[in-house]
Amino acid sequence: MKLIERKQYLDKMINIIGTPDIKVLTGVRRSGKSKLLEAFKAYVQKNIPNANIIHINFNLSKYDNLKEYTTLNNYIESNYAEEKENFVLIDEIQMCDNFELSINNLHATEMYDIYITGSNAFLLSSDLATLFTGRTFEIKVYPFSFAEYVSYFGLTDKYTAFDSYMLEGGMSGSYLYKEQEDKFDYIENVFDTLILRDIRQKYKIKNPALMDRISGFLMDNVSNLTSARSITDTLTSNKEKINHKTVGNYLQYLCNAFAFYKFRRYDIKGRKYLTTNDKYYLSDHTFRYAKLGTKNLDSGRVIENIVAMELLRRGYEVYVGVLYKKEIDFVALKRSEKIYIQVSDNITLPETFKREVEPLLKIKDAYPKMIIARTRNPEYQYEGVKIVDVADWLLDK
C-alpha cells in the first residue's frame, strides 16, 4: 500500500519526544493510527542514534504470548537498554488484559517514552484519566483529509479532485480497490465489523438491531438537529419498543467509538450553550454512502460533514450557532480566535445566497465570517463576508 507522510500528526509526535506523558493515539478504526506509529518508529530510528525501540503490535500472532499484563511488563523490562533512550510503542493495546496496570508501572519508573494505540471503543478520550495514573497526551487521528487525498493520488485539478473525494472519502484502505462498489463494501465492513462490533463488545449491547437503526438514522440525518427523544419518537412510530434513555446511551457509545461527533448548539447573542437538539457528523462521510447508498447524494450535507471534520482536524472547538432563531452552521473557536461559517453546495441562485449570507450579516461582532461552497471561483468578499470555494479552503494551510 502506498504511504504518504501524515505530517500534521507526525510532527505532533516528534514535538513531544522526551516528555513524561503517556502518548495515546485515538481515532476511528482504520484511520491510520498503526501506520502513523510505524512512521514515528522510522523517524526515531533515523534521527535518534541512541534509541532503543521496543515495538509490540498485538495484531501479529508473534506477540500472542504477551496478552497478559505481567508478561507484557516483563518483556518490556527485559528489553530495556541501559544508557539509551528507551521507546515503548504498542499497537492495539486493548488486546492485552489489564494493560493499564503494565503501562502505569512502566510510566512510574520514568525509564520509558511510551506511545500506544488502541481500539476506538476501548481507549476512549473520556477514559484516559481514569485508566492511567500518569498524565496522558492524546493525539487525535482522523481519516484522510482532502489535502491528504490529493497528495496520495498526485491530483492537480482540485475541483475535479474534490468531486472524487466526496464519493471516495478518507478511509484510505478503500483506495486499494478499483471498483467503487468494492470500495463501499470495504467501508461498510469497517463500520459494521469493526466499529459496531467494538461497541457491542465493550458495552454488552442487548439490542444490536436498535444500535444499527440508530446509526442508520444518524447517517440519514447528518447535519439535522437531533435528540435522543426525537430519535425515540421516530423509531417508536415504527413500533420499536425503546425509551429515550437507551437511545441516549447508544448515541454516546457511537460517539465514544469516534463513528460520530456531536456538535452542541451555541446561542451567539446570549453567549450560552443550548441543552436541546445537537447535530451529529460522521468521522468519514462515505460511511453514509456505504450504508445507505448513493441514490440521494445530498451534496450539501456531505460538504457540511467534510467541513465539520476539517475544523476538528485543525484543532477548533466547534459549535452550531443560533442567532434570532436563525442557524449558523459552525462557530469555530480556538483560544482567542473565532470564525462564523456557513456551508452550502451551490450559492449561484440569488435566493440561496441570501439565505446563507443573511444570518452572518446579523452578527455584530468583528470576528471573521465566511461562506464555504462549491463556487469553483477565486475567493471574494460580500459586505465583509468571505466567500471561498470548498476545495480552496480545504487545501489552504
Percentage of the residues of the chain whose pLDDT score is greater than 70: 96
What pLDDT is attached to residue 118? Answer: 79
**Mean per-residue pLDDT, 239-253:** 84
More confident residue, 182 or 231: 182
Q: Is the per-residue pLDDT at 280 higher than 90?
A: yes
CATH level 3 topology of 7-140: Rossmann fold (3.40.50)
Q: Which of 86-95, 160-169, 295-304, 307-316 has the lowest mean pLDDT?
A: 295-304
**Mean per-residue pLDDT, 109-123:** 84
What confidence tier does 28 reach under pLDDT thresholds 50, 70, 90? Answer: confident
What confidence tier does 124 reach under pLDDT thresholds 50, 70, 90? Answer: low
Average pLDDT in the chain? 91
What confidence tier does 327 reach under pLDDT thresholds 50, 70, 90? Answer: confident
Q: Is the per-residue pLDDT at 184 higher than 90?
A: yes
More confident residue, 355 or 133: 355
Task: Answer whether 0.85 is exceeded by the pTM.
Answer: yes
> Any bridge partners for residue 267, and if so which?
272, 322
Q: Which of 120-129, 280-289, 336-345 has the lowest mean pLDDT?
A: 120-129
59: which residues sit within 8 A by CB, 6+ positions away?
Answer: 34, 91, 92
Each domain of the chain, given as residue ranges in start order, spans 7-140, 146-395
Phi-psi region of 267 (alpha: psi -120 to 50; beta: other; left: phi over 0): beta
Q: How many residues does the chain have?
A: 397
Nearest Cα residue to 107 out of 8, 216, 20: 20
pLDDT digits (tens, 9 = 90+) for 287-323: 999 998 876 678 999 999 999 999 999 999 999 988 8
Residues 239/233, Cβ–Cβ less than 8 Å: no
Residues 113/18, Cβ–Cβ less than 8 Å: yes
The one-character DSSP state at 144 is: P
